[in-house]
Chains A and B, each alone.
Chain A
Amino acid sequence: MFNKALWIKEWKQNGLLWLMPILAFFGVTSTRLSYVMDSENSKLMNLKMFQEQGADSFYLATNNTYGTIIMLVVFLCWLGVNQIGAERKNLMNDFTFSLPYKRWEIYLNKFTVGFVTLAASLVIATIIDMAIVLFSPFGMFFSPSIHIYEAVVCLSILTAFYSSLLLVGTMTGGSSMQLLLTIIFNLFPVLFAGLVLYFVEVNFGAENFLPNMDFGNMFMMLYSTPFLMYLGHIYPEFSVIPVILYSVVCLGLGTFLYNRSKLENNGKMLLFAKLETIFHFGVTICFALLGGMFAVVVSEETILHYYIGFIIFGLLAFFGFNYIKKVRFKG
């Protein structure tokens, strides 16, 4: 996990890693700083308001976990793609794989470089954040556990996203595919749920659907990626265990697949021919459902138009996929 040569290589290859602590700093501290550097009048007013509402209200108002995660997710998108997808062109993959290291070692080192930088960035940012609060007029509200909680939330959600990004990278043949599929993979559950619900509604009517399903549970199931759960503001019920589990599973699967990389497929959409059938099936179904939805929304007629759209989009996807899977992209 901590191989000197591989770390030198990763740091050189991912030259922008130094940006992470800076981004973390801005993310974690920005709202709090804005309160602290406000005019004297505003500060006094806010102070009074928070004292009335209780200590926790300060933290709630100045919380920027959302912003931090968004900013760092964008950065991690670049990092993960640069580590795996970008290597798939320019003979870089050849160079990496010709080194005297097991492939899983290479993969894990890539992960740890990203993870350690992320963790260190958040820790430093949090410490600075704590100092800012302590030495500000709002110091009386200071609660270290909340800072730590926020940092843990950020770290775990970001790590989960990062590990899923790397995992998708082991399955795709290039940068753009890796990014595209990761975004789909992380947002997929809720979008797919929406499409399925629409299908059910159109075919069986909404009234039939709602009472029969435990709505809350189903949605919890469908919000299955940590990132999504976070976006959906479900985090008050946040528990770090499933998120860590998610990261571990992604990491394990990614290591397994990276070991079996088929570099001759670099540049294609998918690295493993065996995955193609599953993808083909999935893509066709999704497009079919999408087509049906479009048809109804556009024409405002119901079942017949739904199925016309369904079939047309389905066929398009079916044959389109056959064509795309043979193409080798440059990026």
Chain B
Amino acid sequence: MLNVKQITKMIDNRMILDKVSFQVSAGVIVGLVGRNGTGKTTLLRTIMGILDPEGGTIEFEGKSVHNFPETKQQMLYVPDSPEAIHMYTPDECARLYQAIYPKFDHNNYETLMERFELPRRKKIRTFSKGMKALVSLILAFSTRVSLILLDEPTNGIDPIVKKQVLSMIVEESAERQVSFIISTHQLEELERIADQIIMMKNGGVEVQTSIMDTEERFAKVQVVFSGEAPQELLNLPRIYLLGQVGRVYTLLIEDETDKTLNEIKEVKPLLLEKLPVDLEDLFIMKLGGGKHV
């Protein structure tokens, strides 16, 4: 549905996006992660045609978004702060969206506003942070677009509203095959709701993986070796040191996990315990300073 092809973007003579490519199909929730300043927001803005890339194209259903802005009738960008619609009341915004997006469903908008008990005739600027997040999403879902880009949707929101927001996202994805690209630092959330993760580093796509794959491709263990830690083993590129406390090593293994685990078992460690792999571990391994033993 969405095809990002070799996008390059320079700002102030710095390469912010470096030949970024990926695809998003219908009904898929994609998590976009990366350290602060790696160009995640720039990428989202480029996809929406707000910024023009120096190279590459963005295609939606095969048509260039830049040349055919009508394709954006199926796309919506929800920034982390709804400043643009601050002066609107939700009803006014709904009226505007109805004129812009042909599939806008006013009944859905009214139902959701009622369900969450949000005021429809007060300016959005007066809402609390949680309310702003909810109303942005309600308006976004009511447009019935097929691709929604979310920039930090749960930033600064209390846990109750956060759960409501995330529930809404997965339900919408299930019900209407809406695709999401969610740029966030909330890795635990992504672990639960995302299908795919795109990790960005230095303006390029460092890792692109599906959540299921990560569970299969990676393993995390805590090891205590008897005697000296075997350097040749630990120096293997597929082993990454997540941390070390005293003689307890926490390792992340990428690919050939069974084989590697057996290799570790062969040196008869005092302790070998398998731990669940977090997205956070992956994040540190791929986007961190690059610590190998």
Digitize B255-276: 1 where CB-to-A-CB distance is under 8 Å, 0 elsewhere. 0000000000000000000000
| B51 interface residue (CB < 8 Å to A) | yes
Which one, B51, B83, B92, contacts A263 given CB within 8 A? B51
B174 adjacent to chain A (CB < 8 Å): no
Residues of B within 8 A of A95 (CB): 84-85
Q: Check if B96 sits within 8 Å of A12, measured CB to CB.
A: yes
Task: State the interface size on chain B (CB cutoff 8 A).
Answer: 30
For B100, the closest partner residue in chain A by CB is A5
Report the bound CA distance from A98 to B76 in whole Å.
7
B173 beta carbon closer than 8 Å to chain A:
no
**Cα of A8 to Cα of B11 in the assembled complex, Å:** 33
CB within 8 Å for A92 and B73 given contacts A4-B99, A8-B99, A98-B50:
no
| Residues of chain B contacted by A5 (CB below 8 angstroms) | 96, 99-100
B69 surroundings in chain A (CB, below 8 A): 99-103
Of all chain A residues, the one with the shortest Cβ separation from B12 is A264
Q: Which of B23-67 contact A (CB under 8 A)?
A: 45, 48-52
A135: Cβ under 8 A from any B Cβ: no
Tell me whether A94 and B88 are in contact (CB under 8 A). Answer: no
How many residues of A are in contact with the other chain, CB < 8 A?
A: 24
Closest A residue to B11 by CB, please name it: A264
Cβ contact within 8 Å between B87 and A94: no
Quick one: given A94-B45, A98-B48, A100-B71, are A12 and B88 in contact (CB under 8 Å)?
A: yes
Pick the contact of B96 from A9, A90, A97, A260 — CB < 8 Å? A9
Query: Which residue of the partner chain B has the closest CB to A326?
Result: B12
B209 at the interface (CB under 8 A from A): no
Q: Which residues of A contact B45 (CB under 8 A)?
A: 94, 263
B-chain residues with CB within 8 Å of residue A262 when the two chains form the complex: 51-52
Known: A5-B100, A99-B100, A264-B51. Contact between A91 and B11, CB under 8 A?
Answer: no
- Using known A-B contacts A99-B72, A100-B71, determine if residue A94 contacts B96 with beta carbons closer than 8 Å: no
Chain A contacts for B99, CB-based, 8 A: 4-5, 8
A96→B49 CA distance, assembly (Å): 10
List which A61-111 residues lie within 8 A (CB) of chain B.
90-103
Contact call B48/A100, Cβ cutoff below 8 A: no
The docked-state distance in angstroms from the alpha carbon of A91 to that of B49 is 14
Q: What's the least CB distance linking B192 to chain A, in Å?
A: 28
For residue B81, which residues in chain A have a CB less than 8 angstroms away from its CB?
91
B92 and A98 form a contact (CB under 8 A): no
Q: Chain A residues with Cβ under 8 A from B100's Cβ?
A: 5, 99-100
Q: Does B206 contact A (CB under 8 A)?
A: no
Contact B87 A12 (CB under 8 A): yes
Q: A5-B100, A12-B96 are contacts. A91–B51 as well, Cβ < 8 Å?
A: no
B68-91: contact bitstring with A at CB < 8 Å (1 yes, 0 no)?
Answer: 011111011101010111111000
Q: Is the interface of A mostly helix, strand, loop or mixed?
A: helix
Bound together, the chains give a CA A316 to CA B90 distance in angstroms of: 51
* B95 beta carbon closer than 8 Å to chain A: yes
Cβ–Cβ < 8 Å partners of A12 in chain B:
87-88, 92, 96
**A4 CA / B48 CA spacing, docked (Å):** 22
Most buried by B among A91, A100, A103, A260: A100
Q: In whole Å, how far is A5's beta carbon from the nearest beta carbon of chain B?
A: 4
Choose among A4, A9, A97, A264 the residue that contacts B49 (Cβ–Cβ < 8 A). Answer: A97
Inter-subunit contact A94/B72 (CB<8 Å): no
Residue of A nearest to B87 (CB): A12
In the assembled complex, how far is the CB of residue B135 from the closest CB belonging to chain A, in whole angstroms? 15
Let me know if A8 and B50 touch, CB within 8 A.
no
Beta-carbon contacts under 8 Å, A1-35 to B = 4-5, 8-9, 12-13
Provide the residues of chain B in CB contact with A94, threshold 8 Å: 45, 48, 50, 77, 79, 84
Bound complex: CA A98 to CA B71 (Å): 11
Q: Which residues of A contact B76 (CB under 8 A)?
A: 98
Name the B residues within 8 Å of A260 (CB-CB). 52
Q: A12-B92, A98-B77 are in contact. Are A91 and B83 (CB under 8 A)?
A: yes
Expressed in whole angstroms, the minimum distance between the Cβ of A91 and any Cβ of chain B is 5
**Could you tell me if A97 and B50 are in contact, using CB atoms closer than 8 angstroms?**
yes
Knowing A94-B84, A100-B71 touch, does A8 contact B48 (C-beta < 8 A)? no
Query: Known contacts A94-B84, A98-B72; can you find 19 more A-B pairs with CB under 8 A?
Result: A4-B99, A8-B95, A13-B87, A91-B81, A94-B45, A94-B48, A94-B50, A94-B77, A94-B79, A95-B84, A96-B84, A97-B48, A98-B49, A99-B100, A100-B71, A101-B69, A103-B69, A263-B51, A264-B12
6 smallest CB-CB distances across A and B, nearest first, come from A95-B84, A5-B99, A100-B72, A98-B48, A5-B100, A100-B73
Interface residues, chain A, with chain B CB atoms under 8 Å away? 4-5, 8-9, 12-13, 90-103, 260, 262-264
19 A-B contact pairs sorted by A residue (CB < 8 Å): A8-B99, A12-B96, A91-B79, A91-B83, A91-B84, A92-B84, A94-B45, A95-B84, A97-B49, A97-B50, A98-B50, A98-B72, A98-B76, A99-B69, A100-B73, A100-B101, A101-B69, A260-B52, A263-B45
Residues on B facing A (Cβ under 8 Å): 11-12, 45, 48-52, 69-73, 75-77, 79, 81, 83-88, 92, 95-96, 99-101
